[in-house]
A and B are shown apart, each in its own frame.
Chain A
Amino acid sequence: MHQLLQQIFSGLATGAVYASLALALVMIYRATDLVNFAQGEMAMFSTYIAWTLVNAGLPFWAAFVVTLAASFVGGMLIERIVIRPVENAPILTAVVVTIGLLLIFNATAGWIYSYTLQEFPSPFPDRTLFGALMTTRDVGVIAVTLVMLVALFCFFRFTATGLAMRAAAQNPDSARLCGVRVGRMLALGWGFAAAIGAVAGIMVAPILFLDPNMMGGVLLYAFTGALLGGITSPVGAVIGGLIVGVTENLVGTYLIASQLKLTVALLLIIIVLVFRPNGLFGTAVVRRV
């Protein structure tokens, strides 16, 4: 029984890591209808920027804010310079461009910072809670992810910019006719996603340890979680991420040897998707014929 609880809590902690990156993926998808395969690497790169600032003497929260701002601007610039030229190209071209970004960020981080493991400071003290079921850092990740989720939800639902962004993604031409500056919305979407990714990276680095390949595995799980929850739903992304984390743990412990953990976990999730092809909380796409 204790094992089971341990695995579930441990799964929730890891799941929160996936959920935080999944939020960034959902953000970009909602804003630009594109899956950004470079999201993990961008988050990792932002985390290295934060690390550099902290090492240079900045207090943690100052570095945090500066990194967030820099990532926001960086994300907007990337959309404008890198993604905008292929906006009207076949979608596969844009996908390949994000793969190119992935390679560039990963290689550049490895070149500047080397591949040696680095420690990253955490704003939370290193303590265990609930009788060793979780650490304060794990709780920190969950808390921050939930805060971001609420912020994102409110943004899309209750603000004018959020509405404009949703309009720009769903029907750019009509949105333009209504006076929405579609280009600016796209850039904003990328900027926000980059900032979310930066937060995810900063929260996660103390747990996973910082190296250029930190987010590589996380991206797959985040992608899975986002799709499981529904690629258009931020709430779905978080719940999906948590489910992926817990499922993975339970499968590896009770169902099959850990050597096939990933395979079986993915299989189970795909089976779920067969029954709900748009994810648990996603909306079915209705196309006019």
Chain B
Amino acid sequence: MAETFPVDGSRAKLALERHSGAGIAVWRWAGTAALIAVAVVLPFTLSNYHVFELTQVMIYAIAVLGLNILTGYNGQISLGHGGFFAAGAYTAAILMHRYGVPYWATLLPAALVCFALGVLFGLPALRFEGPYLALVTLAMAFAMPQLLKYFDNWTGGKQGLVLTKPMPPPGLGIDRDRWLYLFVLVVLLVAIRVAANLLNGRTGRAFIAIRDHPIAAAAMGINTARYKTLAFGTSTLFTGVAGALAAIVIGFVAPESFTLFLSLSFLIGSAVGGIATIGGAIVGGFFIEFVPNFANDISDAAPWAIYGLTMLLFMYVMPRGVVGTLGPWLAHAIPSLDRRAAPPNDTNVNGGL
């Protein structure tokens, strides 16, 4: 077999893999299975409210994962993912409210709609880089609430849409909160699996190549335009599905639920977790969900100042995010439990914003 070196040049990792291939695989599977087992059992040990909170964490994690695909792995910044989240949420809400579609059947349409939107967006976005791309995506974040309020026949306008919350299947003996938790957990696991396959394969490598050295990538025959657009579409697909889940779990959608701050929150979650990682999305989800409450407990006079300070703290101590910084460190210390793509090249994460 020809000698190949991984992009990050970690010869230690390569050696480990070659010499203990089967051993690592067993560790990886055992570790993942253990985590999943804990996640499944957890809701039955916590109160309804905490189950609800953790469900929110998972929804945000899926949304942030979408952003990671685009901004972390492909280097295209987006300040407008809240808009795509809203698109997914309203697709699900309108299907449920107007057409009586059962909640679980709204996920696929939401995914398709948001994928199409992402591709449509990604095409003109090819022209833009850095702050210009930021502006274009920012426009999405601002335009979405306006459009939602304007087409109020469909969207319920400023009143929003109240949705009936789904009942758990009879005979299972669990209540609504726990059923929704498990439902979202399954979607999260599927999302992680799909993302991992995508990002660790050819497409992922193409994304990373375009992010780090677009000209070299094109010279090597990668169709930059196609992959960048694909990255956009895939990213918005994930975030759109998260939006649909949010609509189902909260039971209400309104334009006020999808402000610019939501888009910024996703970006924050992404950066804090680790922009070019998959596990970082979960950390990001926890950050977005819990730190505002924690900040409120510390100071009810200026909680967002505490939130901002916490963000700064994370960025100073771990500039690559929690998983982005701890991951490579762990990879040297113990066999890694899931493979990570190469960490982002410092100067090119988003084309120089």
A–B direct touch in complex (beta carbons closer than 8 A): yes
**Among residues 68 to 94 in chain A, which have CB atoms less than 8 Å away from a CB atom of chain B?**
82, 85-86, 88-93
Residues in A with CB closer than 8 Å to B275 are 90, 92
Tell me if A107 is interfacial: C-beta within 8 Å of chain B: yes
| B132–A107 touching, CB < 8 Å | no
Determine, out of B50-58, B90-98, B142-150, B171-179, the stretch whose residues face the partner at the interface.
B142-150
Tell me if A227 is interfacial: C-beta within 8 Å of chain B: yes
- Pick the residue among B301, B312, B347 that contacts A82 (CB under 8 A): B312
Residues in A with CB closer than 8 Å to B129 are 277
Tell me if B127 is interfacial: C-beta within 8 Å of chain A: yes
| A227–B124 touching, CB < 8 Å | no
**Among residues 120 to 153 in chain B, which have CB atoms less than 8 Å away from a CB atom of chain A?**
124, 127-129, 131-132, 134-136, 138-139, 142-143, 146-147, 149-150
Say whether, besides A35-B134, A89-B319, A93-B319, A263 and B353 are in contact (CB < 8 Å): no
Say whether, besides A82-B312, A88-B346, A262 and B131 are in contact (CB < 8 Å): no
**Chain B contact residues: helix, strand, loop or mixed:** helix
Q: Chain B: which residue is nearest A90 at the CB level? A: B349
Q: Chain B: which residue is nearest A106 at the CB level? A: B304
| B353–A267 touching, CB < 8 Å | no
| A100–B124 touching, CB < 8 Å | no
Flag A102-119 by CB within 8 Å of B: 1 or 0 each. Answer: 111011101100000000
Residues in B with CB closer than 8 Å to A279 are 132
Tell me if A150 is interfacial: C-beta within 8 Å of chain B: no
Tell me if B278 is interfacial: C-beta within 8 Å of chain A: no
A97 vs B271: C-alpha distance when bound (angstroms)? 10
Tell me if A148 is interfacial: C-beta within 8 Å of chain B: no
Tell me if B71 is interfacial: C-beta within 8 Å of chain A: yes
Q: Chain B: which residue is nearest A29 at the CB level? A: B131
| B349–A92 touching, CB < 8 Å | yes
A222 to chain B: closest CB distance in Å? 11
A87 to chain B: closest CB distance in Å? 10
Interface size on A, residues (CB 8 A): 48
Residues in B with CB closer than 8 Å to A95 are 77, 267, 271, 353
Residues in A with CB closer than 8 Å to B77 are 92, 95
Besides A260-B146, A263-B147, 5 new A-B residue pairs in contact (Cβ under 8 A), listed by A number: A92-B275, A92-B349, A92-B353, A99-B267, A259-B150
| B132–A99 touching, CB < 8 Å | no
Residues in B with CB closer than 8 Å to A285 are 352
| B312–A97 touching, CB < 8 Å | yes
Flag B250-272 by CB within 8 Å of A: 1 or 0 each. Answer: 00000000000000100110111
Flag A266-289 by CB within 8 Å of B: 1 or 0 each. Answer: 110010011001110000010101
Tell me if A58 is interfacial: C-beta within 8 Å of chain B: no
- Pick the residue among A33, A89, A107 that contacts B315 (CB under 8 A): A89
Tell me if A96 is interfacial: C-beta within 8 Å of chain B: yes
B63 to chain A: closest CB distance in Å? 16
Tell me if A231 is interfacial: C-beta within 8 Å of chain B: yes
B contacts, CB < 8 Å to A: 71, 77, 124, 127-129, 131-132, 134-136, 138-139, 142-143, 146-147, 149-150, 215-216, 264, 267-268, 270-272, 275, 301-305, 307-309, 311-312, 315-316, 319-320, 344, 346-347, 349-350, 352-353
| B131–A231 touching, CB < 8 Å | yes
Q: What's the count of A-B pairs with C-beta under 8 Å?
A: 141
Residues in B with CB closer than 8 Å to A34 are 353
| B142–A100 touching, CB < 8 Å | no
| A103–B307 touching, CB < 8 Å | yes
Residues in A with CB closer than 8 Å to B131 are 29, 35, 223, 227, 231
| A104–B349 touching, CB < 8 Å | no
Say whether, besides A93-B315, A262-B146, A103 and B308 are in contact (CB < 8 Å): yes
Q: Chain B: which residue is nearest A271 at the CB level? A: B124
Q: Chain A: which residue is nearest B269 at the CB level? A: A96
Tell me if A168 is interfacial: C-beta within 8 Å of chain B: no
Tell me if A65 is interfacial: C-beta within 8 Å of chain B: no
- Pick the residue among B135, B143, B315, B347 that contacts A97 (CB under 8 A): B315
**Chain A contact residues: helix, strand, loop or mixed:** helix
30 contacts between A and B (CB under 8 A): A35-B134, A35-B353, A85-B316, A86-B319, A89-B315, A90-B319, A90-B349, A92-B71, A92-B77, A92-B270, A92-B350, A95-B267, A96-B267, A96-B272, A96-B311, A96-B315, A99-B308, A100-B309, A100-B312, A101-B312, A103-B305, A104-B304, A104-B305, A106-B304, A111-B305, A224-B135, A231-B131, A273-B136, A277-B128, A289-B215
| B128–A273 touching, CB < 8 Å | yes
Residues in B with CB closer than 8 Å to A270 are 124, 135-136, 139
A285 vs B270: C-alpha distance when bound (angstroms)? 28
Residues in A with CB closer than 8 Å to B270 are 92
Tell me if A220 is interfacial: C-beta within 8 Å of chain B: yes
- Pick the residue among B138, B139, B319 that contacts A267 (CB under 8 A): B139
| B302–A111 touching, CB < 8 Å | yes
A273 vs B315: C-alpha distance when bound (angstroms)? 32
A102 vs B265: C-alpha distance when bound (angstroms)? 13
A46 vs B91: C-alpha distance when bound (angstroms)? 43
Say whether, besides A103-B308, A263-B142, A277 and B271 are in contact (CB < 8 Å): no
| B305–A108 touching, CB < 8 Å | yes
A97 to chain B: closest CB distance in Å? 5
| A33–B352 touching, CB < 8 Å | yes
A91 vs B319: C-alpha distance when bound (angstroms)? 10
Residues in B with CB closer than 8 Å to A262 are 142-143, 146
